[in-house]
Structure 1
Amino acid sequence: MNQPLAYVHPGAKIAKNVVIEPFTTIHNNVEIGEGTWIGSNVTIMEGARIGKNCNIFPGAVISAVPQDLKFGGEDSLAIIGDNTTVRECVTVNRGTIASGVTKIGKNCLIMATAHIAHDCHIGDNVIIVNGVLLGGHVTVGDFAIIGGLSAVHQFINIGEHAMISGGSLLRKDVPPFTKAAKEPLSYVGINSVGLRRRGFSTEKIREIQDIYRILYQKNYNTTQALSIIEAEMEATPERDEIILFIRNSSRGVMKGYTGIY
Protein backbone atom coordinates (compact mmCIF):
# COMPACT_ATOMS: atom_id res chain seq x y z
CA MET A 1 0.00 0.00 0.00
CA ASN A 2 1.95 3.04 1.29
CA GLN A 3 0.28 5.44 -1.14
CA PRO A 4 1.05 8.95 0.11
CA LEU A 5 -1.65 10.59 -2.02
CA ALA A 6 -4.47 8.47 -0.54
CA TYR A 7 -6.06 9.12 2.87
CA VAL A 8 -6.56 6.05 5.07
CA HIS A 9 -8.03 6.61 8.53
CA PRO A 10 -5.87 5.08 11.27
CA GLY A 11 -8.89 3.08 12.47
CA ALA A 12 -9.35 1.29 9.14
CA LYS A 13 -8.20 -2.35 8.97
CA ILE A 14 -6.42 -2.88 5.67
CA ALA A 15 -4.72 -6.17 4.74
CA LYS A 16 -1.01 -5.83 3.96
CA ASN A 17 -1.19 -6.55 0.23
CA VAL A 18 -4.14 -4.26 -0.60
CA VAL A 19 -3.37 -1.71 -3.33
CA ILE A 20 -4.85 1.76 -2.83
CA GLU A 21 -4.40 4.20 -5.71
CA PRO A 22 -3.95 8.00 -5.34
CA PHE A 23 -6.72 10.37 -4.22
CA THR A 24 -8.80 7.66 -2.57
CA THR A 25 -10.35 8.23 0.86
CA ILE A 26 -10.94 5.43 3.35
CA HIS A 27 -12.83 6.32 6.53
CA ASN A 28 -12.80 4.84 10.04
CA ASN A 29 -14.44 1.47 10.75
CA VAL A 30 -13.57 -0.01 7.36
CA GLU A 31 -12.14 -3.47 6.70
CA ILE A 32 -10.56 -4.51 3.38
CA GLY A 33 -9.36 -8.06 2.68
CA GLU A 34 -6.19 -9.38 1.09
CA GLY A 35 -5.47 -8.86 -2.58
CA THR A 36 -8.07 -6.16 -3.14
CA TRP A 37 -7.36 -3.25 -5.49
CA ILE A 38 -8.91 0.16 -4.80
CA GLY A 39 -8.71 2.55 -7.76
CA SER A 40 -8.19 6.29 -7.69
CA ASN A 41 -10.88 8.66 -6.41
CA VAL A 42 -12.80 5.96 -4.55
CA THR A 43 -14.56 6.85 -1.30
CA ILE A 44 -15.06 4.06 1.23
CA MET A 45 -17.05 5.24 4.23
CA GLU A 46 -17.73 3.91 7.72
CA GLY A 47 -19.23 0.45 7.94
CA ALA A 48 -17.68 -0.96 4.76
CA ARG A 49 -16.51 -4.58 4.83
CA ILE A 50 -14.78 -5.48 1.57
CA GLY A 51 -13.59 -9.04 0.99
CA LYS A 52 -10.52 -10.56 -0.60
CA ASN A 53 -9.42 -10.03 -4.21
CA CYS A 54 -12.04 -7.42 -5.00
CA ASN A 55 -11.60 -4.64 -7.56
CA ILE A 56 -13.14 -1.23 -6.83
CA PHE A 57 -12.88 1.14 -9.80
CA PRO A 58 -12.51 4.94 -9.79
CA GLY A 59 -15.40 7.07 -8.60
CA ALA A 60 -17.17 4.36 -6.60
CA VAL A 61 -18.67 5.33 -3.24
CA ILE A 62 -19.08 2.41 -0.84
CA SER A 63 -21.05 2.50 2.44
CA ALA A 64 -22.42 6.04 2.29
CA VAL A 65 -25.36 6.66 4.61
CA PRO A 66 -28.75 5.54 3.25
CA GLN A 67 -30.90 7.85 1.15
CA ASP A 68 -33.74 7.16 3.57
CA LEU A 69 -35.43 9.90 5.60
CA LYS A 70 -36.07 7.38 8.39
CA PHE A 71 -32.35 6.75 8.87
CA GLY A 72 -31.30 7.89 12.33
CA GLY A 73 -27.54 7.50 12.19
CA GLU A 74 -27.59 3.94 13.55
CA ASP A 75 -24.57 1.70 13.11
CA SER A 76 -24.85 -0.48 10.02
CA LEU A 77 -22.71 -2.15 7.38
CA ALA A 78 -22.14 -2.48 3.66
CA ILE A 79 -20.56 -5.86 2.91
CA ILE A 80 -18.94 -6.83 -0.39
CA GLY A 81 -17.93 -10.48 -0.82
CA ASP A 82 -14.69 -11.94 -2.12
CA ASN A 83 -13.74 -11.66 -5.80
CA THR A 84 -16.39 -9.07 -6.58
CA THR A 85 -15.77 -6.25 -9.04
CA VAL A 86 -17.38 -2.83 -8.57
CA ARG A 87 -16.96 -0.63 -11.64
CA GLU A 88 -16.78 3.14 -12.08
CA CYS A 89 -19.11 5.43 -10.11
CA VAL A 90 -21.13 2.66 -8.50
CA THR A 91 -22.83 3.69 -5.23
CA VAL A 92 -23.53 1.17 -2.47
CA ASN A 93 -25.34 2.56 0.60
CA ARG A 94 -25.07 0.88 3.98
CA GLY A 95 -28.04 -0.62 5.80
CA THR A 96 -30.59 0.82 8.18
CA ILE A 97 -32.08 -0.44 11.42
CA ALA A 98 -34.42 -2.60 9.31
CA SER A 99 -31.74 -5.22 8.59
CA GLY A 100 -28.49 -3.51 9.59
CA VAL A 101 -26.67 -4.40 6.40
CA THR A 102 -26.48 -3.99 2.65
CA LYS A 103 -24.80 -7.10 1.28
CA ILE A 104 -23.27 -8.04 -2.06
CA GLY A 105 -22.11 -11.64 -2.38
CA LYS A 106 -19.03 -13.28 -3.83
CA ASN A 107 -17.94 -13.28 -7.48
CA CYS A 108 -20.34 -10.52 -8.50
CA LEU A 109 -19.90 -7.92 -11.23
CA ILE A 110 -21.50 -4.54 -10.53
CA MET A 111 -21.08 -2.46 -13.70
CA ALA A 112 -20.57 1.29 -13.95
CA THR A 113 -23.02 3.79 -12.41
CA ALA A 114 -25.26 1.17 -10.81
CA HIS A 115 -26.88 2.11 -7.48
CA ILE A 116 -27.51 -0.39 -4.69
CA ALA A 117 -29.64 1.14 -1.97
CA HIS A 118 -29.85 0.42 1.75
CA ASP A 119 -30.70 -3.09 2.97
CA CYS A 120 -30.35 -4.73 -0.44
CA HIS A 121 -29.16 -8.33 -0.27
CA ILE A 122 -27.41 -9.51 -3.43
CA GLY A 123 -26.45 -13.17 -3.83
CA ASP A 124 -23.31 -14.72 -5.29
CA ASN A 125 -22.30 -14.65 -8.98
CA VAL A 126 -24.78 -11.86 -9.76
CA ILE A 127 -24.27 -9.47 -12.69
CA ILE A 128 -25.80 -5.99 -12.38
CA VAL A 129 -25.30 -4.13 -15.65
CA ASN A 130 -24.58 -0.42 -16.22
CA GLY A 131 -27.03 2.09 -14.80
CA VAL A 132 -29.22 -0.34 -12.87
CA LEU A 133 -31.03 1.23 -9.90
CA LEU A 134 -32.01 -0.95 -6.95
CA GLY A 135 -34.39 0.59 -4.41
CA GLY A 136 -34.11 -0.26 -0.74
CA HIS A 137 -34.67 -3.80 0.58
CA VAL A 138 -34.31 -5.50 -2.82
CA THR A 139 -33.12 -9.12 -2.77
CA VAL A 140 -31.39 -10.72 -5.74
CA GLY A 141 -30.75 -14.47 -5.90
CA ASP A 142 -27.53 -16.19 -6.95
CA PHE A 143 -26.58 -16.05 -10.65
CA ALA A 144 -29.26 -13.49 -11.53
CA ILE A 145 -28.52 -10.95 -14.27
CA ILE A 146 -30.19 -7.52 -14.36
CA GLY A 147 -29.94 -5.76 -17.73
CA GLY A 148 -28.68 -2.20 -18.10
CA LEU A 149 -30.76 0.83 -17.08
CA SER A 150 -33.34 -1.30 -15.27
CA ALA A 151 -35.08 0.22 -12.25
CA VAL A 152 -36.13 -2.04 -9.39
CA HIS A 153 -38.84 -0.92 -6.94
CA GLN A 154 -38.05 -1.24 -3.24
CA PHE A 155 -38.85 -4.59 -1.56
CA ILE A 156 -38.72 -6.50 -4.86
CA ASN A 157 -37.37 -10.07 -4.88
CA ILE A 158 -35.53 -11.47 -7.90
CA GLY A 159 -35.05 -15.24 -7.92
CA GLU A 160 -31.93 -17.27 -8.59
CA HIS A 161 -30.82 -17.61 -12.23
CA ALA A 162 -33.33 -15.00 -13.40
CA MET A 163 -32.50 -12.87 -16.44
CA ILE A 164 -33.96 -9.34 -16.64
CA SER A 165 -34.07 -7.52 -19.97
CA GLY A 166 -32.31 -4.16 -20.24
CA GLY A 167 -34.41 -1.07 -19.57
CA SER A 168 -36.95 -2.96 -17.48
CA LEU A 169 -39.16 -1.50 -14.75
CA LEU A 170 -39.57 -4.03 -11.95
CA ARG A 171 -42.73 -3.51 -9.89
CA LYS A 172 -43.38 -7.19 -9.15
CA ASP A 173 -41.20 -10.10 -8.01
CA VAL A 174 -39.38 -12.14 -10.65
CA PRO A 175 -39.43 -15.90 -9.92
CA PRO A 176 -36.28 -18.04 -10.16
CA PHE A 177 -35.01 -19.47 -13.47
CA THR A 178 -37.12 -17.10 -15.60
CA LYS A 179 -36.54 -14.49 -18.28
CA ALA A 180 -38.38 -11.20 -17.80
CA ALA A 181 -39.00 -8.54 -20.46
CA LYS A 182 -41.69 -6.29 -22.02
CA GLU A 183 -43.67 -3.49 -20.37
CA PRO A 184 -45.27 -4.18 -18.00
CA LEU A 185 -42.59 -6.69 -17.05
CA SER A 186 -43.73 -10.19 -17.98
CA TYR A 187 -42.65 -13.81 -18.12
CA VAL A 188 -41.14 -14.57 -21.53
CA GLY A 189 -39.71 -18.02 -20.89
CA ILE A 190 -37.12 -19.65 -18.69
CA ASN A 191 -33.44 -18.75 -18.73
CA SER A 192 -32.51 -21.96 -20.54
CA VAL A 193 -29.23 -20.64 -21.98
CA GLY A 194 -28.02 -19.49 -18.56
CA LEU A 195 -29.12 -22.73 -16.93
CA ARG A 196 -27.34 -24.82 -19.54
CA ARG A 197 -24.14 -22.80 -19.06
CA ARG A 198 -24.34 -23.50 -15.32
CA GLY A 199 -24.62 -27.25 -15.73
CA PHE A 200 -28.37 -27.86 -15.57
CA SER A 201 -29.29 -31.00 -17.48
CA THR A 202 -31.77 -31.06 -20.36
CA GLU A 203 -34.18 -33.02 -18.14
CA LYS A 204 -33.95 -30.45 -15.35
CA ILE A 205 -34.52 -27.56 -17.77
CA ARG A 206 -37.56 -29.37 -19.17
CA GLU A 207 -38.91 -29.86 -15.64
CA ILE A 208 -38.61 -26.13 -14.92
CA GLN A 209 -40.29 -25.32 -18.25
CA ASP A 210 -43.19 -27.64 -17.40
CA ILE A 211 -43.68 -25.92 -14.04
CA TYR A 212 -43.85 -22.48 -15.61
CA ARG A 213 -46.19 -23.66 -18.37
CA ILE A 214 -48.68 -24.58 -15.65
CA LEU A 215 -48.14 -21.27 -13.89
CA TYR A 216 -48.18 -18.94 -16.88
CA GLN A 217 -49.67 -20.64 -19.93
CA LYS A 218 -52.65 -22.71 -18.76
CA ASN A 219 -55.02 -19.90 -17.70
CA TYR A 220 -55.00 -20.92 -14.04
CA ASN A 221 -54.88 -18.38 -11.28
CA THR A 222 -51.79 -18.54 -9.07
CA THR A 223 -53.43 -20.56 -6.28
CA GLN A 224 -54.77 -23.13 -8.75
CA ALA A 225 -51.44 -23.37 -10.57
CA LEU A 226 -49.46 -23.95 -7.38
CA SER A 227 -51.89 -26.67 -6.25
CA ILE A 228 -51.53 -28.45 -9.61
CA ILE A 229 -47.73 -28.13 -9.56
CA GLU A 230 -47.60 -29.64 -6.06
CA ALA A 231 -49.98 -32.45 -6.96
CA GLU A 232 -48.63 -33.40 -10.38
CA MET A 233 -44.93 -32.49 -10.42
CA GLU A 234 -42.33 -34.57 -8.63
CA ALA A 235 -40.88 -32.88 -5.53
CA THR A 236 -37.42 -31.52 -6.40
CA PRO A 237 -35.34 -28.65 -5.00
CA GLU A 238 -36.17 -26.53 -8.06
CA ARG A 239 -39.92 -27.21 -7.85
CA ASP A 240 -39.97 -26.43 -4.15
CA GLU A 241 -37.90 -23.27 -4.63
CA ILE A 242 -40.37 -21.95 -7.21
CA ILE A 243 -43.40 -22.74 -5.04
CA LEU A 244 -41.84 -21.20 -1.93
CA PHE A 245 -40.75 -18.07 -3.82
CA ILE A 246 -44.24 -17.43 -5.17
CA ARG A 247 -46.02 -18.18 -1.90
CA ASN A 248 -43.68 -15.85 0.00
CA SER A 249 -44.09 -12.97 -2.47
CA SER A 250 -45.55 -9.97 -0.69
CA ARG A 251 -45.78 -7.79 -3.83
CA GLY A 252 -46.95 -10.57 -6.13
CA VAL A 253 -45.04 -12.04 -9.06
CA MET A 254 -44.86 -10.77 -12.61
CA LYS A 255 -47.60 -11.89 -14.97
CA GLY A 256 -47.41 -13.89 -18.17
CA TYR A 257 -46.90 -12.07 -21.44
CA THR A 258 -50.20 -11.59 -23.27
CA GLY A 259 -49.01 -9.79 -26.38
CA ILE A 260 -51.28 -6.84 -25.54
CA TYR A 261 -49.47 -3.51 -25.20
Structure 2
Amino acid sequence: MTVIHPTAIVDPKAELDDSVEVGAYSIVGPNVKIGARTTIGPHVVVDGHTTIGCDNRFFQFSSIGGAPQDKKYAGEPTRLEIGDRNVIREFCTFNLGTSQDEGVTRLGNDNWIMAYVHLAHDVQVGNNTIFANNAALAGHVHVGDWVILGGFSNVHQFCKIGSHAMLGMSTSLTQDVPPFVMLNGNPAAAHGINVEGLKRRGFSREQISDIRNAYKLIYKSGLTLEEAKASLAKAEADAPGSAVYLRMIREFLDSTTRGIVR
Protein backbone atom coordinates (compact mmCIF):
# COMPACT_ATOMS: atom_id res chain seq x y z
CA MET A 1 0.00 0.00 0.00
CA THR A 2 0.97 3.63 -0.47
CA VAL A 3 2.99 4.79 2.56
CA ILE A 4 1.85 8.27 3.54
CA HIS A 5 3.21 9.84 6.72
CA PRO A 6 0.42 10.89 9.13
CA THR A 7 1.50 14.53 8.91
CA ALA A 8 1.47 14.63 5.09
CA ILE A 9 -1.49 16.11 3.24
CA VAL A 10 -2.45 14.27 0.04
CA ASP A 11 -5.51 15.49 -1.80
CA PRO A 12 -7.99 12.64 -2.34
CA LYS A 13 -8.11 13.48 -6.06
CA ALA A 14 -4.36 12.91 -6.49
CA GLU A 15 -3.42 9.68 -8.27
CA LEU A 16 -0.61 7.82 -6.51
CA ASP A 17 0.63 4.35 -7.34
CA ASP A 18 0.29 1.86 -4.49
CA SER A 19 4.09 1.79 -4.04
CA VAL A 20 4.59 5.56 -3.65
CA GLU A 21 5.95 6.94 -0.38
CA VAL A 22 5.15 10.44 0.91
CA GLY A 23 7.22 11.83 3.78
CA ALA A 24 6.38 13.95 6.79
CA TYR A 25 4.70 17.33 6.25
CA SER A 26 4.68 17.00 2.46
CA ILE A 27 1.73 18.26 0.41
CA VAL A 28 0.40 16.66 -2.79
CA GLY A 29 -2.21 18.58 -4.78
CA PRO A 30 -5.38 17.33 -6.52
CA ASN A 31 -4.03 17.29 -10.08
CA VAL A 32 -0.88 15.30 -9.34
CA LYS A 33 -0.11 11.82 -10.70
CA ILE A 34 2.84 9.86 -9.28
CA GLY A 35 4.16 6.57 -10.67
CA ALA A 36 5.45 3.41 -9.08
CA ARG A 37 8.16 3.37 -6.42
CA THR A 38 8.64 7.14 -6.43
CA THR A 39 9.58 8.59 -3.04
CA ILE A 40 8.50 12.06 -1.96
CA GLY A 41 10.67 13.10 0.98
CA PRO A 42 9.63 15.28 3.92
CA HIS A 43 8.53 18.90 3.50
CA VAL A 44 8.04 18.63 -0.28
CA VAL A 45 5.20 20.41 -2.10
CA VAL A 46 3.95 18.81 -5.33
CA ASP A 47 1.21 20.88 -6.94
CA GLY A 48 -0.29 21.90 -10.28
CA HIS A 49 -1.05 19.57 -13.16
CA THR A 50 2.06 17.51 -12.49
CA THR A 51 2.82 14.00 -13.73
CA ILE A 52 5.74 12.12 -12.21
CA GLY A 53 6.96 8.76 -13.50
CA CYS A 54 8.49 5.75 -11.77
CA ASP A 55 11.46 5.33 -9.43
CA ASN A 56 12.07 9.01 -8.77
CA ARG A 57 13.42 10.29 -5.47
CA PHE A 58 12.59 13.78 -4.21
CA PHE A 59 14.58 15.06 -1.25
CA GLN A 60 13.28 17.48 1.36
CA PHE A 61 12.10 21.06 0.84
CA SER A 62 11.55 21.02 -2.93
CA SER A 63 8.68 22.87 -4.64
CA ILE A 64 7.45 20.91 -7.65
CA GLY A 65 4.75 22.11 -10.05
CA GLY A 66 4.40 25.64 -8.75
CA ALA A 67 2.93 28.46 -10.84
CA PRO A 68 5.31 30.01 -13.40
CA GLN A 69 7.25 33.10 -12.39
CA ASP A 70 5.71 34.90 -15.34
CA LYS A 71 3.47 37.96 -15.03
CA LYS A 72 1.44 36.79 -18.04
CA TYR A 73 0.39 33.58 -16.31
CA ALA A 74 -3.33 33.73 -15.48
CA GLY A 75 -3.95 30.32 -13.98
CA GLU A 76 -4.14 28.31 -17.21
CA PRO A 77 -4.03 24.52 -16.67
CA THR A 78 -0.45 24.15 -17.88
CA ARG A 79 1.67 21.15 -16.91
CA LEU A 80 4.89 19.74 -15.51
CA GLU A 81 6.02 16.30 -16.68
CA ILE A 82 8.82 14.36 -14.99
CA GLY A 83 10.04 11.02 -16.33
CA ASP A 84 11.60 8.03 -14.57
CA ARG A 85 14.58 7.38 -12.29
CA ASN A 86 15.41 10.99 -11.55
CA VAL A 87 17.07 12.16 -8.34
CA ILE A 88 15.97 15.63 -7.21
CA ARG A 89 17.88 16.95 -4.24
CA GLU A 90 17.02 19.59 -1.63
CA PHE A 91 15.30 22.95 -2.31
CA CYS A 92 14.70 22.47 -6.05
CA THR A 93 11.99 24.51 -7.78
CA PHE A 94 10.32 23.21 -10.96
CA ASN A 95 7.56 25.41 -12.44
CA LEU A 96 4.63 24.66 -14.73
CA GLY A 97 4.65 25.68 -18.38
CA THR A 98 2.86 28.66 -19.90
CA SER A 99 0.32 29.10 -22.69
CA GLN A 100 2.88 31.24 -24.56
CA ASP A 101 4.84 28.04 -25.30
CA GLU A 102 3.85 24.35 -25.42
CA GLY A 103 2.23 24.70 -22.01
CA VAL A 104 4.49 22.11 -20.39
CA THR A 105 7.81 21.98 -18.57
CA ARG A 106 9.58 18.63 -19.01
CA LEU A 107 12.33 16.69 -17.26
CA GLY A 108 13.24 13.39 -18.92
CA ASN A 109 14.74 10.22 -17.46
CA ASP A 110 17.81 9.36 -15.36
CA ASN A 111 18.73 12.92 -14.48
CA TRP A 112 20.79 13.85 -11.41
CA ILE A 113 19.53 17.22 -10.15
CA MET A 114 21.42 18.63 -7.17
CA ALA A 115 20.30 21.13 -4.53
CA TYR A 116 18.72 24.51 -5.28
CA VAL A 117 18.31 23.87 -9.02
CA HIS A 118 15.61 25.95 -10.73
CA LEU A 119 13.72 24.85 -13.85
CA ALA A 120 11.57 27.75 -14.99
CA HIS A 121 8.42 27.59 -17.11
CA ASP A 122 8.55 25.69 -20.41
CA VAL A 123 12.07 24.35 -19.86
CA GLN A 124 12.73 21.09 -21.72
CA VAL A 125 15.43 18.81 -20.28
CA GLY A 126 16.46 15.51 -21.88
CA ASN A 127 17.94 12.41 -20.27
CA ASN A 128 21.07 11.55 -18.26
CA THR A 129 21.93 15.14 -17.38
CA ILE A 130 23.76 16.35 -14.27
CA PHE A 131 22.90 19.77 -12.84
CA ALA A 132 25.14 20.80 -9.95
CA ASN A 133 24.04 22.96 -7.01
CA ASN A 134 22.31 26.26 -7.81
CA ALA A 135 22.17 25.77 -11.58
CA ALA A 136 19.29 27.92 -12.83
CA LEU A 137 17.44 27.72 -16.15
CA ALA A 138 15.22 30.60 -17.22
CA GLY A 139 12.03 30.13 -19.21
CA HIS A 140 11.90 28.23 -22.51
CA VAL A 141 15.43 26.82 -22.25
CA HIS A 142 16.08 23.51 -24.05
CA VAL A 143 18.74 21.10 -22.78
CA GLY A 144 19.82 17.97 -24.66
CA ASP A 145 20.85 14.55 -23.32
CA TRP A 146 24.00 14.02 -21.24
CA VAL A 147 24.51 17.74 -20.58
CA ILE A 148 26.43 18.76 -17.44
CA LEU A 149 25.86 22.13 -15.75
CA GLY A 150 28.41 23.24 -13.16
CA GLY A 151 27.40 24.81 -9.87
CA PHE A 152 25.87 28.31 -10.08
CA SER A 153 25.48 28.10 -13.87
CA ASN A 154 22.86 30.50 -15.20
CA VAL A 155 21.11 30.08 -18.55
CA HIS A 156 19.24 32.95 -20.23
CA GLN A 157 15.70 32.39 -21.46
CA PHE A 158 15.22 30.72 -24.86
CA CYS A 159 18.78 29.36 -24.97
CA LYS A 160 19.49 25.85 -26.27
CA ILE A 161 22.23 23.54 -25.02
CA GLY A 162 23.14 20.65 -27.30
CA SER A 163 23.64 17.06 -26.17
CA HIS A 164 26.92 16.17 -24.41
CA ALA A 165 27.80 19.83 -23.80
CA MET A 166 29.27 20.95 -20.49
CA LEU A 167 29.12 24.28 -18.66
CA GLY A 168 31.76 24.99 -16.03
CA MET A 169 31.06 26.43 -12.60
CA SER A 170 29.45 29.91 -12.51
CA THR A 171 29.02 30.08 -16.28
CA SER A 172 26.65 32.79 -17.49
CA LEU A 173 25.08 31.68 -20.76
CA THR A 174 23.20 34.04 -23.08
CA GLN A 175 23.56 32.18 -26.41
CA ASP A 176 23.20 28.62 -27.66
CA VAL A 177 25.79 25.88 -27.12
CA PRO A 178 26.37 23.31 -29.89
CA PRO A 179 26.52 19.62 -28.95
CA PHE A 180 29.76 18.33 -27.36
CA VAL A 181 31.15 21.81 -26.59
CA MET A 182 32.71 22.68 -23.23
CA LEU A 183 32.56 26.26 -22.06
CA ASN A 184 33.06 28.43 -19.02
CA GLY A 185 33.06 32.02 -17.85
CA ASN A 186 31.02 35.20 -17.73
CA PRO A 187 30.48 35.84 -20.55
CA ALA A 188 30.72 32.20 -21.59
CA ALA A 189 33.57 31.15 -23.88
CA ALA A 190 34.16 27.81 -25.63
CA HIS A 191 37.13 25.69 -24.54
CA GLY A 192 37.09 22.59 -26.74
CA ILE A 193 34.91 19.49 -26.56
CA ASN A 194 33.89 17.31 -23.62
CA VAL A 195 36.46 14.58 -24.35
CA GLU A 196 36.38 12.89 -20.95
CA GLY A 197 32.60 12.68 -20.99
CA LEU A 198 32.60 11.14 -24.45
CA LYS A 199 35.16 8.53 -23.41
CA ARG A 200 33.01 7.55 -20.44
CA ARG A 201 30.00 7.15 -22.74
CA GLY A 202 31.79 4.78 -25.10
CA PHE A 203 32.67 7.07 -28.02
CA SER A 204 35.54 5.65 -30.05
CA ARG A 205 38.85 7.44 -30.53
CA GLU A 206 37.97 8.03 -34.18
CA GLN A 207 34.58 9.52 -33.31
CA ILE A 208 36.12 11.85 -30.73
CA SER A 209 38.72 12.93 -33.28
CA ASP A 210 36.03 13.67 -35.87
CA ILE A 211 34.00 15.67 -33.33
CA ARG A 212 37.13 17.62 -32.36
CA ASN A 213 37.75 18.42 -36.04
CA ALA A 214 34.15 19.65 -36.30
CA TYR A 215 34.79 21.93 -33.33
CA LYS A 216 37.88 23.31 -35.08
CA LEU A 217 35.85 24.03 -38.20
CA ILE A 218 33.41 26.12 -36.17
CA TYR A 219 35.80 27.79 -33.73
CA LYS A 220 39.36 27.71 -35.09
CA SER A 221 39.24 27.77 -38.90
CA GLY A 222 38.18 31.37 -39.47
CA LEU A 223 35.23 30.19 -41.56
CA THR A 224 31.87 31.88 -41.38
CA LEU A 225 29.13 29.81 -39.80
CA GLU A 226 27.62 29.05 -43.21
CA GLU A 227 31.01 27.95 -44.54
CA ALA A 228 31.56 25.79 -41.46
CA LYS A 229 28.17 24.10 -41.98
CA ALA A 230 29.07 23.32 -45.59
CA SER A 231 32.36 21.80 -44.44
CA LEU A 232 30.53 19.75 -41.82
CA ALA A 233 28.22 18.35 -44.50
CA LYS A 234 31.27 17.20 -46.47
CA ALA A 235 32.82 15.72 -43.31
CA GLU A 236 29.67 13.64 -42.76
CA ALA A 237 30.18 11.94 -46.09
CA ASP A 238 33.88 11.34 -45.40
CA ALA A 239 33.38 9.91 -41.89
CA PRO A 240 30.46 7.44 -41.90
CA GLY A 241 31.29 6.19 -38.40
CA SER A 242 30.79 9.70 -37.02
CA ALA A 243 28.20 11.02 -39.47
CA VAL A 244 25.32 10.90 -36.98
CA TYR A 245 27.24 13.13 -34.55
CA LEU A 246 28.46 15.56 -37.19
CA ARG A 247 24.90 15.81 -38.48
CA MET A 248 23.75 16.51 -34.92
CA ILE A 249 26.11 19.49 -34.77
CA ARG A 250 25.14 20.80 -38.20
CA GLU A 251 21.40 20.50 -37.54
CA PHE A 252 21.85 22.30 -34.22
CA LEU A 253 23.59 25.16 -36.03
CA ASP A 254 20.65 25.30 -38.46
CA SER A 255 18.16 25.50 -35.60
CA THR A 256 19.75 28.21 -33.47
CA THR A 257 17.82 31.44 -33.10
CA ARG A 258 19.98 33.24 -30.54
CA GLY A 259 23.28 32.45 -32.24
CA ILE A 260 25.96 30.23 -30.70
CA VAL A 261 28.66 31.08 -28.18
CA ARG A 262 31.60 31.68 -30.51
Q: TM-score, normalised by structure 2?
A: 0.95
Given the alignment, which residue of 131, 134, 143 partners 2:146? 143
* Cα distance in 2 between the residues matched to 1:27 and 1:201: 47
Report the residue type matching 1:10 in the other structure.
Answer: P
Match of residue 42 from structure 2 = 40
Q: Per-residue displacement from partner, 1:83-102 (whole Å, max 9, x unpaired)? A: 00111000000111111110
Is 1:7 the counterpart of 2:14 in the alignment?
A: no
After TM superposition, the structure 1 = structure 2 runs for residues 142-181 of structure 1, keeping only pairs within 5 Å, are 142-181=145-184
Give the direction of change, closer, same or farther, for the CA distance of 1:178–1:39 in structure 2 (3 Å limit).
same
Match of residue 62 from structure 1 = 64
Match of residue 31 from structure 1 = 33
Q: CA deviation at 1:177?
A: 0.8
Runs (5+) with no aligned partner, structure 1? 256-261
For 2:213, what is the secondary structure of its paired residue? helix
Q: CA deviation at 1:232?
A: 4.2
Provide the alpha-carbon RMSD of the alignment. Answer: 1.0
* Cα distance in 2 between the residues matched to 1:85 and 1:241: 28
Q: CA deviation at 1:233?
A: 4.2
Is 1:224 the counterpart of 2:230 in the alignment?
A: no
* Cα distance in 1 between the residues matched to 2:62 and 2:129: 18
* Residue correspondences, number: 255
* Cα distance in 2 between the residues matched to 1:104 and 1:60: 15
Q: Which moved further from structure 2: 101-110 or 177-186?
A: 177-186
After TM superposition, the structure 1 = structure 2 runs for residues 97-108 of structure 1, keeping only pairs within 5 Å, are 97=99, 98-108=101-111
Match of residue 208 from structure 2 = 205
Report the residue type matching 1:121 in the other structure.
Answer: Q
- Give me the identity figure in percent: 37
Report the residue type matching 2:57 in the other structure.
Answer: N
Report the residue type matching 2:54 in the other structure.
Answer: K
Match of residue 187 from structure 1 = 190
For 2:210, what is the secondary structure of its paired residue? helix
Q: CA deviation at 1:3?
A: 2.0
Match of residue 248 from structure 1 = 255
* Cα distance in 2 between the residues matched to 1:233 and 1:53: 39
For 2:227, what is the secondary structure of its paired residue? helix
Q: Which moved further from structure 2: 16-25 or 219-228?
A: 219-228
Whether the 8 Å contact between 2:170 and 2:186 is mirrored in structure 1 is: no
Give the direction of change, closer, same or farther, for the CA distance of 1:232–1:17 in structure 2 (3 Å limit).
closer
Q: CA deviation at 1:77?
A: 1.0
Structure 1 segments of 4 or more deviating over 3 A? none
Match of residue 258 from structure 1 = none
For 1:205, what is the secondary structure of its paired residue? helix
